[in-house]
Amino acid sequence: MRLRQINLEDCERLAASFTKPYHQNYFAMYSSVLGGVVIHPFLMTVPMDDHMVHRGDGIFEVFKCVDGRIYNLQRHLERLDRSARAIYLQLPVGLEEMTRIVVETIRLTGQRDALIRLFVSRGPGGFTTDPYECPASQLYVMVGRLNGYPDAFYSEGVRAKSSSVPVKKSYFANIKSCNYLPNVLMKKEAVDNQVEFTVSVDENGFLGEGSTENVGVVTRDGRLKLPRFSRILQGTTVMRATELAEALVAAGTLQDVVFEDITLTEAYSSAEMLLFGTTFDILPMVAFDRHPIGNGAPGPVFRGLRERLRWDMYENPAAQTPVFSKGARRKA
For the bound state, the minimum distance from the C-beta of residue 296 to ligand PLP, rounded and expressed in Å, comes to 25
For the bound state, the minimum distance from the C-beta of residue 135 to ligand PLP, rounded and expressed in Å, comes to 29
Single-letter amino acid, residue 287: A
Of 11 and 191, nearer to ligand PLP (C-beta) is 191
For the bound state, the minimum distance from the C-beta of residue 90 to ligand PLP, rounded and expressed in Å, comes to 23
CA distance 161 to 290: 7
For the bound state, the minimum distance from the C-beta of residue 174 to ligand PLP, rounded and expressed in Å, comes to 10
Asked about 176 being catalytic, the answer comes back as yes
Of 134 and 209, nearer to ligand PLP (C-beta) is 209
Of 62 and 73, nearer to ligand PLP (C-beta) is 62
Of 134 and 244, nearer to ligand PLP (C-beta) is 244
Single-letter amino acid, residue 281: D
Of 34 and 257, nearer to ligand PLP (C-beta) is 257
Which member of 64, 161, 176, 225 is catalytic?
176
For the bound state, the minimum distance from the C-beta of residue 257 to ligand PLP, rounded and expressed in Å, comes to 16
CA distance 105 to 28: 7
Give residues with Cβ within 8 angstroms of 324, minimum separation 6.
Answer: 68, 69, 107, 112
Do 79 and 234 contact (CB within 8 A), yes or no? yes
CA distance 201 to 263: 9
* Residues at the interface with ligand PLP (CB under 6 A): 62, 183, 209, 212-214, 233, 235-238, 276-278
Annotated active-site positions, please? 176
